[in-house]
Homo-oligomer: A and B are copies of this chain.
Amino acid sequence: MTSSPAVDVVVVGAGLSGLSAARNLVALGHSVHVFEANDRVGGRTLNHKLDGANVDLGGTFVGPTQDRILALAQETACAHHPTNTVGESALSWRGRVRRYSGTVPSLGVGSLVDIGRLQFKIDRLANALPQGAPWDGKNAAELDSHTLASWLAAQHASQSSKDLFAIVAKTSWGCEPAEISMLYVLDYIRGCGGIDRMLATKGGAQQEHFPDGTQTISMSMAERLGESISLGSAVRRVEWSDGGVAVSAGSRTVTAKAVIVAVPPAMRSRIDFYPVLPVEHRSLGQRWPQGVLTKVYASYERPFWRDNGLNGQTLSDAGPIFATFDTSPSADGPGILLGFIGADYARSYDRLPPHERRLRALSSFATVFGDDAMHPTAFVDQRWAGEDWIGGGPTAAVPPGALTRYGSWLARPVGPIYWAGTETADRWAGYMDGAVRAGERAARECLVTVENRD
């Protein structure tokens, strides 16, 4: 690397995180090249036209304190509007459908007391964790030795509480409570600002969504980067030294002063680094799996459930769909229902042929919204676990023992190699906001390397 590098920084991955990093570097006058394995930008955001309406097959919602994605949306002129909350929510539980208002489902008093007790305890434990260093928290080792399931069992949680937290695990991390570290759960909740902020629609992370589709934000950033992005270019080799990097995708190699790797941690292992990365980085790559999440949308002439006083939001203890939202563009336009299928439900659903998937998903909708739900004008599903270069969604579902041992390596630079991706954010990790934060942080960090050589 004695000759002058081709660009200042190579970015691996053109999701929200990688593009945010690239955009910020360009704004500071640095040159970049972005390699993207897929033939599109946006990563875990993906626009889709469903019978004329825009739906988000990936990241969808934004809410208060998600300042970085909101700022970026404003700068890229992507409007957002409130998720529908007019009407009552529905709870499909133990074979019966009940209605409720607000975020607290209509369970019996005993169940609600138990859930309140656990939420109080979880919020307290989460708030006590030091931001960006949960491994330094009180009882971190013990909390990281538990799965969410074993921790709930140790707290003598009621069956209803266990089932409700299972829905949270499926939606938030694409895993069952048996798969995920309790310390990771707490740190994630801390990063959201508490359970209510994480789970609520009004006042929480589902408060608004983007009528033009969230991928549009990435497309807008990509447009300005123009020729600096290579699609269909999976990076498989990064040669590095203190003097710079040579990043190869297929037969093309681009030299730079630094590289920002903005892919899910589990996908880092697919890149060969020469020399090899420190052992902690390689061990981490074996211990940071992506969750299993599938999203489905059905469109109808109108949001007919609203006539019946329902807001389209559901929680269910029976699969395949265990949570729904109404993402209709307006009250008189087409009605759009969004359903989440996660973890074990998704593992069996994902294997089915298309017509069976459709039937099972619509039957789930019909349980709550009636037989009209069986006859949509259009239907689509997106199985994130099957995405070859993403490895699963919505984010990592980290098992016990990994966060305390490898968490501090997750975003730690190695020579001229920097790390982005929503998993590396210390606020709103796993969300679009975390992706932007992580990209911006990596861009700032790599200036040390980039500007030292100017």
Contact = CB atoms under 8 A, between A and B. Distances in A.
A292 B236 CA distance: 26
Given A150-B154, A385-B279, A179 B266 contact: no
Contacts of A282: 385, 388, 391
Interface string A363-385: 00000000000000000000101
How many copies of the chain does the oligomer comprise? 2
Contact of A286 (B272, B290, B386): B290
Interface string A2-14: 0000000000000
Contacts of A161: none
A177 B287 contact: no
Interface stretch (A73-81, A140-148, A299-307, A432-440): A140-148
A148 to B, nearest CB: 9
A266 B269 CA distance: 9
Contacts of A149: 145, 400
Contact of A150 (B145, B180, B350): B145
* Most B CB within 10 A of own CB, among A176, A344, A404: A176
A349 to B, nearest CB: 12
A128 interface: no
B178 A401 contact: yes
A403 to B, nearest CB: 10
A279 B384 CA distance: 10
A289 B292 contact: no
Contacts of A276: 388
Contacts of A113: none
A338 to B, nearest CB: 22
Contacts of A236: 236
B147 A401 contact: yes
A211 interface: no
A191 interface: no
A344 to B, nearest CB: 7
A141 B179 CA distance: 11
A213 interface: no
Contacts of A292: 283
A63 interface: no
Contact of A347 (B145, B286, B287, B405): B405
Contacts of A386: 279
Contact size range, A: 35 or more
A400 B283 contact: no
Interface string A390-414: 0110000001111011000000000
Given A144-B178, A145-B177, A150-B145, A283 B392 contact: yes
Nearest to A346: B279
A153 interface: yes
Contacts of A401: 147, 175-176, 178-180, 399
Contacts of A288: 286
A225 B149 CA distance: 50
A270 interface: yes
A379 to B, nearest CB: 21
A150 B236 CA distance: 39
A236 B175 CA distance: 30
A91 B290 CA distance: 42
Contacts of A350: 279
Contact of A147 (B147, B383, B388): B147
A287 B147 contact: no
A276 B386 CA distance: 9
Given A279-B350, A344-B405, A405-B344, A147 B391 contact: no
Given A150-B147, A350-B279, A141 B178 contact: yes
Given A175-B401, A280-B347, 14 more contacts: A144-B178, A147-B147, A153-B154, A178-B401, A179-B399, A180-B401, A269-B270, A279-B350, A282-B391, A283-B290, A283-B391, A283-B392, A287-B289, A399-B399
5 contacts: A147-B400, A150-B400, A269-B269, A282-B385, A286-B286
Give the 6 A-B residue pairs with the shortest CB-CB distance, closest first.
A179-B401, A399-B399, A145-B178, A286-B289, A145-B149, A150-B150
